[in-house]
A and B are shown apart, each in its own frame.
Chain A
Amino acid sequence: MGVLMVIIGIIFAVTVLPSEEKRVKKRFQLLSEWISKSPEENPITMLQKMKDIGTLFVEPCELKAPHESLSGSYPRQEISAYAGSARSHFFQLDFKFYDLHIAFPEKEVAKVTLTARLIGKSTAGEQVDEIRELECLLKKIDKKWFFNQIEVIEVLKK
């Protein structure tokens, strides 16, 4: 009976109680949800999502992308505006993260390596399917995790 109680306790702790890893994953889920766009999305939802995206980042967030003009430091507002502008070019957008490897190299810092995939249909009717490996650094501020740095890893170098 005692062993059973211990097993139930462990299962409860693992599945129900939020660990730091789960909290970090939740931030990625939110980012994926807010960037994705359904064809029926109304303007109010669009504006809300644009605003929400900025709240996931620290001020400023650094973006490192080899051979792409996007590299630099961006304030939250600019991230929201850029995400909104990019989303507006799409009729439908599905942004997902795969293979998240989470490590905590320092206290209050999370390093996440993952694959990001963006599948969508542009307003011009063009199909888009982009895959990138990303290395993200998240910072914990007031018990919440925020994106601090996003680096695009070069998998294929032309």
Chain B
Amino acid sequence: MAVNRRIRQFFLPSLTPTLLIRVFLVSLFAYLFFGYVCTPFTIQGISMEPTYSNGGVNFCWRLRYLLSGPKRHDVVAVRFAGSRVMLLKRVVAQEGEQVEFHAGRLYVDGKEIEEPYVRFPCSWNLPSRRVEKDCVYVVGDNRNMPIENHHFGQTSKVRIMGVPLW
């Protein structure tokens, strides 16, 4: 009987000021945490396959670059006007570096970069270009498409919102 009462009290608690404060604090924490610290998102598109598949669910950890900047091979979320729509891309070059593609292979400052995450065949050719100050060069893992159809390039570090949690 006492157990029943406890279960009922847990699921249907009495409306007391303490409960209201608790509900308010939990809601506030959830709003701040999932709205500004660890934002849930769904992956739409195939540009990061096979690392991230279309339809997958993940969280964007926004505190990742609080103390340090993005590094080569990091997967990052790039924002547009806000955080409702973001692009998931991989950092391949940093500011000041020369980046180019030759026969589908990535070269940074003239050296070929090993990219074990690129599994599909690629035949891209892109002339060399220097990454500007406060920017990084981002590309998707799925390069098995014409270069014109893939959204990639240099973006400002300010646009990097965080990293996927897994």
Contacts and interface: CB of A to CB of B under 8 A. Distances in A.
B89 to A, nearest CB: 8
Main secondary structure of the interface of A (DSSP, over half): strand
A101 interface: yes
* B: contact size bracket: 10 to 19
Contacts of A131: 80, 85, 87, 151
B151 A156 contact: yes
Given A99-B82, A101-B82, A129 B153 contact: no
Contacts, number: 52
Nearest to B131: A157
B159 interface: yes
B104 to A, nearest CB: 16
Interface centre among A100, A113, A117, A155, by most chain B C-beta atoms within 10 angstroms, is A155
Given A99-B85, A115-B85, A156 B80 contact: no
Chain A interface size range: 10 to 19
Say what secondary structure dominates the interface of chain B. Answer: loop
Interface string A88-105: 000000000011110000
A65 interface: no
A156 B78 CA distance: 9
Interface string B42-65: 001100000000000000000000
| 7 cross-chain pairs, A with B, having the tightest CB-CB distances, nearest first | A99-B82, A156-B153, A115-B80, A98-B84, A158-B153, A99-B81, A133-B80
25 contacts: A98-B80, A98-B82, A98-B85, A99-B85, A100-B81, A113-B81, A114-B81, A115-B84, A117-B85, A131-B85, A131-B87, A133-B80, A155-B80, A155-B159, A156-B78, A156-B87, A156-B138, A156-B154, A156-B155, A157-B153, A157-B155, A158-B126, A158-B152, A158-B153, A158-B154
